[in-house]
Amino acid sequence: MTAPTRVLLVDDHAVVRAGYRRLLELEPDMLVVGECADADAAYALLQRQPVSAGALAEVMVLDLSMPGRSGLDLLRRVRLRWPSLRVLIFSMHDSPAVVNQSLRAGAAGFVTKSSPPEELVAAVRAVRQGERVVSQDVAAHAIPAEAPTAPAPHEQLSAREFDVLRHLLAGLSLEEIAQRLCLSPKTVANQQSLIRQKLGVSNAVELLRYAQWHGLDG
């Protein structure tokens, strides 16, 4: 009998984790081997697994918006340390920019939380087999698997800068962003300056126009 696919769930909402743990474990070929509420806890859990034993999990189902380090940050760290671990983003965000940022960072797939439950199950199976999967509601806007085009300026932002950008576009103040991302207001202010510099905008109005032009405000 083939061993079940080992899945690690990373989401800061316990109720959400419990829900899709039940969903996945109804499948005979899947086993949830761990749950984490933030990126640091997930990274620490993976590190505790002896190298000789291989990866703790084969698929990580990862949310993007969590307190502390972002899901994108964890994705990049995992891809460097455990390249064979397939990361499936499972997020409420459905903007083309967020989807493409995730895929460029190395995600094996992207499924929105508004997708039917069976789509998440199918996606876990697919990425375990080495396929790249994007849920139907965002597939039309996803970059092709072998896209040769140069990334747009916002796609070259760091994971942290992209998180700050999303919160700025959501209308949060620097203090609110700092609290949500566990940063100091000064750090967020510095990030805002770097973001504007990288995007070639000088103020909030130009930033909003850039976002609207590139579909970041969706």
How many residues does this entry show for the chain? 218
**pLDDT value at position 52?**
43
Q: Measured in whole angstroms, how far is the alpha carbon of residue 171 from the centre of its chain?
A: 21
Q: Which of 141, 169, 196 is the endpoint of a domain?
A: 141
Q: Is residue 15 part of a domain?
A: yes
Q: Are residues 90 and 65 in the same domain?
A: yes
Q: What stretches of 48-181 show up as alpha helix (H) in DSSP? A: 71-81, 96-104, 117-128, 159-169, 174-181
Give Cα separations from 142 to 100, 191, 201 (angstroms).
6, 27, 25
Q: Are residues 76 and 97 in the same domain?
A: yes
Lowest mean pLDDT among 15-19, 69-73, 125-129, 142-146: 142-146
Q: For 150-195, how does the pLDDT look when each residue is reduced to its tens digit (9 = 90+)? A: 567 887 788 788 888 888 988 889 999 998 888 899 999 999 999 9
User: Has residue 149 got a pLDDT over 70?
Assistant: no
Q: Are residues 59 and 122 in the same domain?
A: yes
Q: Please, are residues 107 and 89 in contact by the beta-carbon 8 Å criterion?
A: yes
Q: Are residues 115 and 161 in the same domain?
A: no
Q: Which of 106, 141, 176 is the endpoint of a domain?
A: 141
Q: Is residue 176 part of a domain?
A: yes
Residues 6+ apart with CB under 8 A from 76: 105, 106, 159
Query: What is the mean pLDDT of the segment spanning 200-214?
Result: 83
Q: Is residue 146 part of a domain?
A: no
Q: Within 10 A of 119 (CB to CB), how many other CB atoms are there? A: 16
Round to whole Å and give the CA distance between 76 and 184: 23
Q: Are residues 107 and 178 in the same domain?
A: no
Which band of pLDDT confidence, cut at 50, 70 and 90, is reported for residue 146? low
Q: Is the dihedral of CA 193, 197, 198, 200 positive or negative?
A: positive
60 or 96, which is more confident? 60
3-state secondary structure of 89: strand
What is the number of domains present in the chain?
A: 2
Q: Are residues 116 and 180 in the same domain?
A: no
Q: Measured in whole angstroms, how far is the alpha carbon of residue 113 from the centre of its chain?
A: 12
**pLDDT value at position 65?**
84
Round to whole Å and give the CA distance between 170 and 161: 14
Q: For 1-31, how does the pLDDT look when each residue is reduced to its tens digit (9 = 90+)? A: 578 899 999 999 999 999 999 999 999 999 9
Per the prediction, the chain carries an average pLDDT of: 85
Q: For 85-103, how does the pLDDT look when each residue is reduced to its tens digit (9 = 90+)? A: 999 999 988 888 888 888 8
Lowest mean pLDDT among 10-14, 47-51, 204-208: 47-51
> 206 is in which domain, residue-wise?
153-213
User: Has residue 147 got a pLDDT over 60?
Assistant: no
- pLDDT above 90 covers a percentage of the chain that reads 43
User: Has residue 112 got a pLDDT over 70?
Assistant: yes
User: Has residue 205 got a pLDDT over 90?
Assistant: no
